[in-house]
Amino acid sequence: MFEPVPTKDIDFPALERAVLRWWYEHGIVQKYLTRNAQSSKRYSFMDGPITANNPMGVHHAWGRTYKDFYQRFYTMLGYRQRYQNGFDCQGLWVEVEVERELGFTSKRDIEAYGIDRFVEKCKERVFTYSAIQTEQSKRLGYFMDWDNSYYTLSDENNYAIWHFLKVCHQNGWIYHGYDVMPWCPRCATGLSEMEVSEGYKEITHLSLYVRFPLEGREREALLVWTTTPWTLTANVATAVHPDLTYVRVRQNDEILILAEEAARHALRGPYEVLGYLKGSDLVGLRYRGPYDHLPINAQVEHRIIPWDAVDPSEGTGLVHIAPGCGREDYQLGKEHGLAVIAPLTEDGYYVEGFDWLTGKHVHSVAETIAQDLAQRGLLYRREPYLHRYPTCWRCGTELVFRLVDEWFIAVDPWREKVMEAARQVRWIPEFGLERELDWLRNMDDWMISKKRYWGLALPIWQCGECGWFDVIGSEEELRERAVEGWERFEGHTPHRPWIDAVKIRCEQCGSIASRIPDVGNPWLDAGIVPFSTLRYRHDRAYWQEWFPVDFITESFPGQFRNWFYSLLAQSTVLTGQAPMKTCLGFALLRDEKGEEMHKSKGNAIWFDEAAERAGVDVMRWLYLKHNPAQNLNFGWRLLDEVRRTFLLPLWNSYAFFANYARLDGFHPAQHDVPLGERTLLDRWILARLQQVIATVRERIQDYDSMNAARALQDFVVEDLSNWYIRRNRRRFWKTESDQDKAAAYLTLYEVLVTLTKLLAPFIPFTTELMYQNLVRRVDPQAPESVHLTDYPEADLTKLDDELVADMNWLLRAVELGRAARNKASIKVRQPLPRAVVAARDPAARRAIERLVDQFMDELNVKAVEFADRPEDYLSYRVKPNLPVLGPRLGPKLPVLQRALAGIDQNALARQLRAGRSVTLTLDGEELEFGSDDFLVESVDRPGFAAFEDRDLLVAVDLTITPELRLEGLARDFIRGVQEARKNAGFEIDETIEIVYRAEGELAAAVERFADSIKHETLAVDLRAGEPEREDGHVEEVKVGRERFVVALRRVGRLAEARR
């Protein structure tokens, strides 16, 4: 019937690998993908494409677990789906890795190698790693239509973006502009706002306080601060806040001007204030720039300009302005008609006109410039400055700001529309909406161009003669308008360099127009997928069937500015609505210490390593049970905790049933015990199961895997393993096969089979193993896999809210009784004469009376009594918390102490323990006190230990008679033998002989309770003797303060004893 289930040294990763092979060998995944093909119900999921550039890390597995989980759930509910995975293929992230493979250090190396060969290398890398990620995703248990994955490098994806850009152009939103942009000198390309936000790091730079001498004033200068010394070579102005107060100070033999508020932190040494003036008084003054002597600055006139954004809290309140080196500076320059000096080449070297600096790299000159300024008497002081500074999110190089020409989409014309589209989406967590709106509210125009090679070829053709440009919206339009180069391009993908061969006619002057060399921002690629993958251009009916999608999920810290934004933007432009209904965002994955994972730090964990060391079901449970709004600290300790606290209790519950059912030859189809004839515990666990089914379904449908998982774990660990199975072990152990045993087997079987289906979307490997043994070995006609079954629905006929409520009262009472025992340091194995229950709620008393046998057995007491006055068993004393109230009350403290003496201490204590405040009148003044203002001491009735929680108290009688003492020692002996059985490696159904040596009371206890000991330990013989002379496993056992020696010898199997 059932296969034996191991309970020791379980290699979950090996079991998972075997299941994975079985799935694909038996076509289970394909059957899963097609099981709902004719369903009228539809669930639309859109995969955010994973970057096909490296193997997966454990952070990728978090998001992919969510994606698989929700699709599995809706598959089991019978919904038709598309199951399409996506790979992000184009952009700088791929280029950088290929450059490293080829040993390239600049764009010049790429062009010397050949753009065509380089692009083909990029494609090769993408296909290599998409194949690796596919296999890793399968190992995760991710069921997708892998042969139908989409790739953002595809012709359709690229042409769909052409269509989007065409619509933007038809609306007049695309323009070619000059701006100072964040620029990576290593990659020689500008970065959009989205990309810059991904790469900030804490970096220490050399900051300089520099003198800018005023024209016509002897030894008088502006004191200016900068954290980017390289930009001083392009200075053309200094900004002041017109409303701030500035000071002229004398220090040594010079006069310096700076903001009054800044003087305290900017100046060093004593100084004399000569006068005060407003910033507006300084506007228009001329000064000599620090590098006026360079040829590039020959015609520059330096002056002071007003700027309301000047902040004196850092620096000096005077801001050096270099319009060619900063975005805000550039805007100020346009506003005030300032000269623009652009000092850098695209790879970060000073251009001609900078004398000794020409040819030097921007990242190498800070110290040299500081020394030069010092030699010329312009450096006031220097200091290291730690700040958040942007770096290239792909290669890590520190960015500079550089005057460049780029292509943009104007955002203002559709900003409000895309914000309204964002409001149509349900954002999880809820703060996602405000984060997205904040980005949309404040973002600048969308820079869509990059001066690179591998990516979307921007479909912009521009005339070199007159500057006219047009946007091509499709491959058909390009074919129709091409005047040369189509033959060379035809048959190639729409990438550089092949697309560059095609020319069109300028509609303004008739000249030949060429495609601009730029490629597109890679977030265009991912944002168009609700159109490109759903056949928007070619099969509008199909697109309408699946659009908008029901669900997307990605890590939210970066995606508000990236994928979520791009999705919303492109969909709003094309359709006026959001492309998704629900967006689940999740936080960042860190190491166990909460630090970022990096290869360079040695704390990164790759997916393959985690899968083979811990197993993916453990990983999936960790991900799904976590709060997605909080960072997840991932590591081996946490994975082991998940294994110990959930997977092993589940597995051991399954093994308990399977192994004993196999031993008894139990077949569920051969037994039928009506629900009404089963025990209260049977009916309770089945009623709880229905509650859990309802909760789990409701939580998953609300995209709340965390609380669904928590409900399941509480049920498996607390209700099933720690209570139902533990309380019913003897029903499975007993030799007679009666209706009671059949009821226990049927009940546990039903719970376990239902759990395999409930848990299937969470832990697909373990549940498959359980299902094959529990279901398919019983019924070969059952669905071939648990993943081809329907998701459980609650059976209302098995609900019993009253019984569940009663059991909750019992469990609370048991918990209080255990706490009372712990307070008295008396273990549960030691029987006690009685427990006393005082319940203020009549329902509690009725529940415990109904379940009194369970209560007595669990607490190991011989009798239960009920009391009306809990204070007879536990009273309280309330004292002022002197360190808190002493300073607060002062001379009124004795008044409080007298007031407390006249108050019902028990009632006051219960009010404080419940967290409620109390109001007392002291010398005619009403004062409010909280629980932290008092110390509450509990006092047990002599001879008892008691514990109370709000409306329920349990006390245990601490009297231990000689008979109870012996019974407790016998239980210690049983515990010791069971540990020895485990250490000897005996199976649960093996019968044994026990030879023991014990002394004193322990020996008397073993003799007195021999029958019970033999029954509990599966011993066919128990006798005193010399264990060391016996064959078998010999062990000295220590339980509590008792020591004894046993020899255990295998005799046979329990089934033989039953025959």
Please give the structure tokens belonging to residue 766: 């373990």
Answer yes or no: are the C-beta atoms of 890 and 903 closer than 8 Å: no
How many angstroms separate the CA atoms of 574 and 531, rounded? 9
**Average pLDDT, stretch 369-392?**
94
**Average pLDDT, stretch 266-280?**
95
pLDDT band per the 50, 70, 90 thresholds, residue 318 = very high
**Percent with pLDDT over 90 in the chain:** 84
pLDDT tens digits, 804-823 = 999 999 999 999 999 999 99
Pairing of strands 446-447, 400-409: antiparallel
Q: Facing residues of 890 across strands?
A: none
Q: What is the pLDDT of residue 923?
A: 86
Assess whether pLDDT exceeds 60 at residue 1057. Answer: no
| Residues comprising the chain, all counted | 1059
pLDDT band per the 50, 70, 90 thresholds, residue 733 = confident
Please give the structure tokens belonging to residue 259: 């903001």
Chain centre distance of CA 963: 56
**Average pLDDT, stretch 551-571?**
93
Q: What is the pLDDT of residue 312?
A: 92
**Average pLDDT, stretch 779-784?**
96
**Average pLDDT, stretch 915-935?**
89
CATH architecture for segment(s) 39-171+409-446+527-586: 3-Layer(aba) Sandwich (3.40)
The maximal CA–CA distance of the chain, rounded, in angstroms, is 117
C-alpha count within 13 angstroms, C-beta hemisphere, residue 934: 27
Q: What is the pLDDT of residue 541?
A: 97
**Average pLDDT, stretch 165-192?**
91
How many angstroms separate the CA atoms of 709 and 626, rounded? 9
Q: Report whether the peptide linkage leading into residue 761 is cis, meaning its omega lies within 30 degrees of zero.
A: no
Q: What is the pLDDT of residue 568?
A: 97
pLDDT tens digits, 383-433 = 999 999 989 877 889 999 988 889 999 999 999 999 999 999 999 999 999
Assess whether pLDDT exceeds 90 at residue 74. Answer: yes
**Average pLDDT, stretch 173-193?**
88
Q: Report whether the peptide linkage leading into residue 182 is cis, meaning its omega lies within 30 degrees of zero.
A: no
Domain ranges of the chain: 1-34+604-791, 39-171+409-446+527-586, 200-390, 805-871, 874-940, 962-1058
Task: Identify the three-state secondary structure at position 790.
Answer: coil
**Percent with pLDDT over 70 in the chain:** 99
In sequence order, what E strands does 391-435 have? 400-409, 426-428
Render the burial of 866-891: b for 16+ CB within 10 Å, e for the rest. eeeebbebbbbebebeeeebeeebee
Q: What is the pLDDT of residue 1058?
A: 54
The mean pLDDT value of the chain amounts to 94
Assess whether pLDDT exceeds 60 at residue 1059. Answer: no
Beta-carbon contacts of residue 772 (< 8 Å; ≥ 6 apart):
none
Q: What is the pLDDT of residue 782?
A: 97
Q: What is the pLDDT of residue 544?
A: 97
pTM listed for this prediction: 0.87
* Bigger pLDDT: 545 vs 735: 545
Burial class (CB in 10 A: 0-12, 13-18, 19+), 549: buried
- Domain 1-34+604-791 bears CATH identifier 1.10.730.10: yes
pLDDT band per the 50, 70, 90 thresholds, residue 690 = very high
**Average pLDDT, stretch 7-11?**
92
Single-letter residue type at 758: L
Rg (CA), the chain: 38
Q: To the nearest 10°, report the CA torsion of 231, 234, 238, 241.
A: -50
In sequence order, what E strands does 923-978 have? 925-929, 934-940, 944-949, 952-957
Q: What is the pLDDT of residue 1055?
A: 64
Element (H, E) at 1023: strand 1019-1024
Task: Identify the three-state secondary structure at position 560.
Answer: coil
SS (H, E, C) 991-1034: EEEEEEECCHHHHHHHHHCHHHHHHHHCEEEEEECCHHHCCCEE
Backbone angles phi, psi at 989, to 5 degrees: -105, 10
Task: Give me the residue label for tokens 């520190």.
Answer: 398
Assess whether pLDDT exceeds 90 at residue 192. Answer: no
How many angstroms separate the CA atoms of 12 and 651, rounded? 10
Q: Which of 558-562, 712-716, 856-860, 940-944 has the lowest mean pLDDT?
A: 558-562
Assess whether pLDDT exceeds 90 at residue 329. Answer: yes
Pairing of strands 237-240, 319-321: antiparallel
Answer yes or no: are the C-beta atoms of 99 and 109 closer than 8 Å: yes
Quick one: 200-390 is in which CATH superfamily?
Valyl/Leucyl/Isoleucyl-tRNA synthetase, editing domain (3.90.740.10)
**Average pLDDT, stretch 359-374?**
95
Helix segments in 35-82, DSSP class H? 58-76
Beta-carbon contacts of residue 1007 (< 8 Å; ≥ 6 apart):
1024
Q: Which of 594-603, 606-615, 830-839, 890-899 has the lowest mean pLDDT?
A: 594-603
| DSSP secondary structure code for residue 1009 in this structure | T
How many angstroms separate the CA atoms of 111 and 116, rounded? 9
pLDDT tens digits, 991-1018 = 999 999 999 999 999 999 999 999 999 9
Q: Sort residue 954 into left (φ over 0), alpha (ψ -120 to 50) or beta.
A: beta
